């Protein structure tokens, strides 16, 4: 897969912006993940060239942390909290409902590239359990009943755009 | 603000800012002050829009000169949010919606009347409570770590300075030697709030005793225990206090650089912390020769990337160094050889947040609170099946009964209390018999649990002990870093065995094997994640042996949670044939029978064509939506 020239430049710029930091790899990876949504091998090679860190080491770091992904995620990442506070309030049922309505398992992305389901661990909104976050926006007290409506909300948003 | 270059200059700023803040809270500036909760929980409930709407509405009424509006950090009682508080009356409005703003402005701010419908209602007395301090949830609390949270504007250095901010720093670096600071912290008896409970002063002393050209303070804001959110709230509510604590630590053992490691799941905390650091740099409270002394200090932020094990201090250091977050063997301890090989103290957010109090008010005042072996206060994140869910800061030695019933308001829906899990995935559960135990580091350990970071998850009779242990084990399996095989393979195997038990495939032998394997994992693991991994299992096995037994011998889940060991049934005698359940069933396994349904309205005849329903057990996936939907109580779990 060829990386677009502007992405190559973008990644290089990110590397440059952290050039003065000690051990900048995590910061670079976070910034790339945030900006492009994933960190494929080709991008890791660019980072390696810029920083002198071997690709093998970068790959090791990327695969260690759950925030970094090798593959693109859906446009909307449905992060459903399976932290303790949410779990004891039945957040598993919310995950199951998303799975059954979208036909994908946690960690997977719908064919149209719109949704990814992620089981996440605590977003600090435990008092509003079960909580979920969609691209950073936190939804409090989600019940299985609301799942259909939430999916519709984002599908409509897509249709309008 | 102009640069603060001398102690006198800081003194003067503190005086001015204190006067301004007091005038704001007491209304002696001729204005009323409205504050809106801007914590993660309330923001999820639209508090940002509420703040905007308040500003708009106030402008529309031409009240800009008479009323100020700003956001503050978490009130702790997030389940009742969003909160809006009005000074000087000290009126607290809860569960505020954007549509309530008009009322607040017209009725209260203009009309001088209280919006009764927005007041907190005590669930037992059913009385409305106007002031925060009169709400039971807040009564037993003492705010040391949460000092200033939900009161000061976390984006304004001025408000921090107006509420005791940097008094301790000034005292430490201008009137105390580093050793005196360490002695004071030792005398306070404070133990680390992040998990292990190691005396903070001793840790600092180790690092102080090492000679090095560079040392580091690292603040652990990884808050890995899912269900705990005190560090988040402190960072969001008063980031200055944590930075101040970090600087005092740096002064005490000779570090001039500090790193905050904050989990990426906390974007609001990160941005407030970032802003606080920048504002302090601007006035010279961070940088070279602070207040004209020899003390220089810089603070930096590093983000986590979703790995629980990075909360472990040596893994955290690896992560800051841009590596896989795997624990390092100890010794050498970080205090000797830590970040980039230099002496480093890792301290938890809450620990650092309590340091300014200790220096400012004196060790004696801190040590006067708490128990013999555990001094001061501890913030707990009370969650799960309890009426008042939220953050509470109470003296060490508070009993579980006080925590769950007096502060937490008891269990919702008149359900029976079953257990409370403390210490997160490394901890254990306490039950009915422990309710009157004063909780501190040592009593919790003695009862097979631990303090951990202060997560306290209440479970009621509807929670299954085996299922909860299964949940923690799945968490640990996911999060084991894989460095040592007892932890990597052992936890996986334990998880599989527990799965067998929850599916009814386990035997008594499985339970014995689990205990044996638990011991092996405990003894053979490098870090505390592995060493404590089996705690939730062992503790539930100890406390609920009969429940485990029911799963393996009778193949029953007494709490009706484990899907393979329970069924949903429709009681034909109660079903009115409304068809709701069959329309909602995702696998269409609910059918009509030929039994005529009960009448919809008691006493009236059944409508024609209404028949009782029945579930085809062979197809049911136990999703529970039928039970949740039936309005006639006709569906049960067995
Ligand atoms: C698996 C694991 C996870 C941990 N997670 C955290 C955490 O999220 N926050 C924290 O402050 N300490 C955590 N700790 C404890 C730290 O290793 C360390 O003891 C603590 O940060 C020291 O600070 P304190 O002395 O102020 O408590 C964890 C330990 C282990 C073994
Ligand atoms: S005990 Fe587990 S988490 Fe800790 S170092 Fe070993 S494998 Fe990693
Ligand atoms: S929802 Fe309840 S009352 Fe209605 S058909 Fe189903 S079981 Fe009967
Ligand atoms: S539990 Fe779910 S699958 Fe089973 S009958 Fe009820 S709605 Fe259908
Ligand atoms: S456990 Fe779900 S938000 Fe904390
Ligand atoms: S976030 Fe508003 S009360 Fe906690």
Tokens linked to A92: 């598993």
Taking CB atoms and an 8 Å cutoff, what residues of chain A touch B302? 26-27
User: What's the CATH code, domain B31-134?
Assistant: 3.40.30.10
Give phi and psi for B229, each to the nearest 5. -145, 25
Q: Whose CA is closest to atom 4 on ligand 3?
A: B578
- Last residue of a domain, which of A17, A37, A64? A64
Alpha helices in B348-438 (DSSP H): 349-361, 363-367, 400-401
| Tokens linked to B462 | 């509807």
Question: Among B394, B391, B388, which Cα is nearest to B410's?
Answer: B388
Q: Which domain covers residue A10, as residue numbers?
A: 5-64
- What local confidence, expressed as pLDDT, does residue A136 receive? 85
Distance of alpha carbon A16 from alpha carbon A10, whole angstroms: 10
- A82 shares a domain with A60: no
For A13-28, the pLDDT digits (tens) are: 999 999 999 999 999 9
CA atoms within 13 A on the CB side of B554: 9
CA B245 → CA A142, B268, B313, distances in Å? Answer: 37, 20, 18
Tell me how many domains chain A contains.
Answer: 2
CATH dotted code for B377-460: 3.10.20.600
Ligand 1 closest atom vs CA B222: 8
- DSSP bridge partners of B438: B399
A71 found inside a domain: no
Domain identity same for A80 and A152 = yes
- Predicted local distance difference test score (pLDDT) of residue B192: 97
**Is-contact A39 A3, C-beta < 8 A?**
no
Residues of B in contact with A146 (CB under 8 A): none
Residues in chain B: 638
Residues A59 and A81 in one domain: no
User: Quick one: A48 and A22 in the same domain?
Assistant: yes
- Ligand 3 mutation pick, B577, B606, B616, B620, max ligand atoms within 8 A of CB: B577
At B447-490, the pLDDT tens digits run: 999 999 999 999 999 999 999 999 999 999 999 999 999 999 99
Instruction: Scan for tokens 């037993």, then name that residue.
Output: B140
Atom of ligand 2 nearest to the CA of B531: 1
pLDDT given for residue B602 in this prediction: 85
Residues A152 and A80 placed together within one structural domain of the fold = yes
Q: Are strands A132-134 and B568-570 parallel, antiparallel or unpaired?
A: unpaired
Cα–Cα distance between B509 and B512 in angstroms, integer?
A: 5
pLDDT in tens, B81-119: 999 999 999 999 999 999 999 999 999 999 999 999 999
Q: Are residues A14 and A88 in the same domain?
A: no
Nearest chain B CA: its distance from A150 CA (Å): 15
| pLDDT tens, residue by residue, A60-76 | 999 999 999 999 999 99
ipTM score: 0.93
For residue B81, which residues of chain A lie inside 8 Å, CB to CB? 127
Q: Give me the residues of chain B with pLDDT under 70, please.
A: none
Q: Is B208 in the pocket of ligand 4 (CB under 6 A)?
A: no
Contacts of B294 (CB under 8 A, 6+ apart): none
SS3 label, residue B256: coil
CATH code of the domain containing A113: 3.40.30.10
DSSP3 helix / strand / coil % (chain B, rounded to 5): 45, 15, 40
**Token pair for B21:** 């803040």
Cα–Cα distances (Å) from B378 to A16, B142, B374, B452, in that order, read 43, 9, 10, 11
Give residue A36 CA to ligand 4 midpoint distance, Å.
41
**pTM for this model (two decimals):** 0.94
Measure in Å the smallest separation between the Cα of A7 and chain B Cα atoms.
22
Among B448, B446, B438, which residue's Cα sits nearest to residue B374?
A: B438
Query: Same structural domain for residues A60 and A81?
Result: no
Residue A105 within a domain: yes
B344 contacts B335 by C-beta, under 8 angstroms: yes
A58–chain B nearest CA distance, Å:
8
The pLDDT of residue A60 is 97
Confidence grade of residue A124 (pLDDT, cut at 50, 70, 90): confident
One-letter-per-residue 3-state SS of B310-325: HHCHHHHHHHHCCCCC
Q: Is residue A133 part of a domain?
A: yes
DSSP assignment of B524-546, as one string? H-SSHHHHTTTHHHHHHHHH-HH
Predicted pLDDT at A1: 62
pLDDT of residue B586: 82
Q: Which ligand has the minimum distance to the alpha carbon of residue B581? A: 3
- The residue length of chain A stands at 161
Are the CB atoms for B82 and B19 separated by under 8 Å? no
Both A85 and A154 in a single domain? yes
Taking Cα atoms as reference points, which of A51, A47, A60, A43 lies closest to residue A21? A51
Domains B31-134 and B567-637 share a fold: no
The CATH number fitting domain B567-637, selected from 3.30.70.3270, 3.30.1490.20, 3.30.470.10, 3.30.70.2190: 3.30.70.3270
On whether both A132 and A153 belong to a single domain, the answer is: yes
* B70 beta partners: B35
Chain A, 101 to 120: residues with Cβ < 8 Å from chain B are 120
List the beta strands (DSSP E) in B543-602. 568-570, 590-596
CA distances to A28, A32, A64, B199 from A41, rounded to whole Å, are 15, 13, 15, 45
CATH number (3.55.40.20, 2.40.170.20, 1.20.1440.230, 1.10.1060.10) of B465-554 reads: 1.20.1440.230
Fold of B164-367: Rossmann fold (3.40.50)
SS3 B71: strand
Ligand 5 pocket, mutate which of B224, B226, B263, B456 (most atoms under 8 A from CB): B226
**In the structure encoding, which two tokens stand for residue B638, read together?**
């067995």
A139 vs B: CB within 8 A: yes
**Whether residue A111 is found in the same domain as residue A154:** yes
Domain residue spans of chain B: 31-134, 164-367, 377-460, 465-554, 567-637
């Amino acid at each position: 897969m060829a990386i677009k020239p502007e992405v190559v430049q973008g990644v290089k710029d990110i590397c440059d912006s952290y050039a003065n930091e000690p051990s900048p790899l995590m910061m670079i990876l976070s910034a790339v993940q945030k900006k492009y949504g994933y960190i494929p091998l080709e991008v890791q090679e660019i980072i390696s060239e810029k920083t002198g860190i071997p690709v093998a080491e970068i790959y090791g770091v990327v695969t260690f942390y759950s925030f970094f992904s090798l593959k693109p995620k859906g446009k909307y990442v449905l992060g459903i909290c399976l932290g303790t506070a949410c779990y004891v309030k039945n957040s598993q049922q919310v995950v199951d409902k998303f799975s059954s309505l979208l036909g994908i398992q946690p960690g997977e992305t719908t064919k149209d590239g719109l949704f990814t389901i992620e089981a996440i661990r605590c977003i600090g909104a435990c008092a509003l359990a079960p909580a979920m976050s969609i691209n950073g926006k936190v939804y409090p007290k989600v019940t299985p009943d609301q799942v259909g409506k939430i999916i519709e909300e984002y599908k409509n948003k897509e249709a309008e755009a | 603000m102009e640069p603060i270059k001398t102690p006198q200059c800081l003194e003067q700023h503190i005086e001015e800012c204190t006067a301004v803040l007091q005038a704001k809270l007491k209304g002696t500036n001729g204005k009323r002050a409205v504050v809106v909760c801007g914590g993660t929980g309330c923001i999820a409930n639209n508090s940002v829009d509420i703040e905007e709407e308040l500003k708009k509405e106030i402008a529309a009424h031409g009240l800009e000169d008479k009323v100020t509006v700003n956001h503050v950090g978490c009130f702790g009682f997030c389940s009742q949010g969003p909160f809006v508080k009005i000074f000087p009356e000290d009126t607290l409005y809860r569960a505020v919606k954007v549509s309530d703003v008009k009322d607040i402005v017209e009725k209260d701010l203009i009309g001088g009347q209280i919006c009764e419908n927005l007041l907190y209602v005590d669930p037992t007395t059913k009385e409305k409570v106007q002031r925060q301090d009169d709400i039971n949830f807040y009564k037993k609390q003492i705010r040391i770590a949460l000092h200033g949270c939900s009161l000061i504007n976390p984006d304004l250095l001025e408000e921090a300075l107006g509420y005791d901010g940097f008094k301790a720093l000034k005292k430490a670096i201008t009137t105390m030697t580093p050793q005196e600071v360490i002695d004071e912290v030792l005398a306070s008896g404070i133990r680390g709030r992040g998990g292990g409970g190691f005396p903070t002063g001793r840790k600092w002393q180790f690092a102080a005793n090492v000679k090095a050209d560079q040392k580091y303070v690292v603040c652990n804001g990884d808050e890995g225990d899912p269900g705990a959110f005190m560090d988040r709230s402190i960072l969001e509510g008063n980031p200055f206090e944590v930075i101040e604590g970090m600087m005092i630590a740096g002064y005490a053992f000779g570090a001039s650089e500090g790193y905050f490691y904050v989990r990426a799941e906390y974007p609001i905390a990160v941005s407030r912390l970032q802003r606080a650091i920048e504002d302090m740099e601007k006035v010279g409270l961070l940088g070279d020769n602070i207040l004209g002394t020899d003390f220089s200090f810089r603070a930096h932020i590093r983000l986590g990337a979703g790995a629980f094990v990075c909360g472990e201090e040596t893994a955290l250091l690896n992560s800051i160094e841009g590596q896989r977050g795997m624990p390092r063997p100890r010794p050498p301890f970080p205090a000797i050889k830590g970040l980039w090989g230099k002496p480093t103290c890792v301290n938890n957010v809450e620990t650092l947040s309590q340091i300014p109090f200790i220096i400012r008010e004196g060790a004696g005042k801190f040590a006067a609170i708490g128990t013999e072996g555990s001094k001061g206060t501890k913030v707990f994140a009370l969650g799960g099946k309890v009426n008042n869910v939220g953050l509470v800061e109470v003296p060490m030695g508070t009993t579980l009964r006080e925590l769950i019933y007096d502060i937490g308001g008891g269990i919702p829906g008149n359900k029976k209390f079953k257990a409370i899990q403390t210490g997160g995935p490394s901890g254990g559960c306490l039950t009915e018999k422990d309710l009157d135990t004063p909780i501190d580091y040592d009593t919790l350990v003695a009862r097979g649990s631990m303090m951990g970071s202060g997560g306290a998850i209440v479970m009621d009779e509807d929670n299954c002990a085996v299922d909860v242990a299964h949940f923690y084990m799945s968490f640990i399996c996911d999060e084991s870093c894989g460095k040592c095989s007892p932890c990597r393979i052992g936890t996986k195997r334990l998880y599989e065995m527990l799965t067998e038990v929850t599916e009814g495939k386990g035997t008594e032998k499985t339970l014995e094997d689990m205990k044996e394997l638990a011991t092996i994992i405990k003894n053979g693991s490098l870090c505390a994640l592995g060493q404590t991994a089996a705690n939730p299992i062992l503790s539930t096995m100890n406390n609920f042996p009969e429940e485990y037994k029911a799963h393996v011998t009778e193949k029953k889940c007494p709490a009706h949670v484990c899907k393979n060991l329970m069924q949903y049934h429709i009681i034909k005698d109660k079903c009115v044939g409304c068809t709701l359940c069959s329309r909602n069933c995702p696998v269409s396994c609910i059918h009509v029978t030929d039994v005529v349904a009960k009448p919809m309205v008691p006493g009236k005849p059944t409508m024609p064509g209404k028949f009782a329903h029945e579930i085809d057990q062979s197809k049911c996936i136990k999703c529970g939506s039928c039970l949740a939907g039936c309005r006639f109580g006709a569906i049960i779990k067995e």
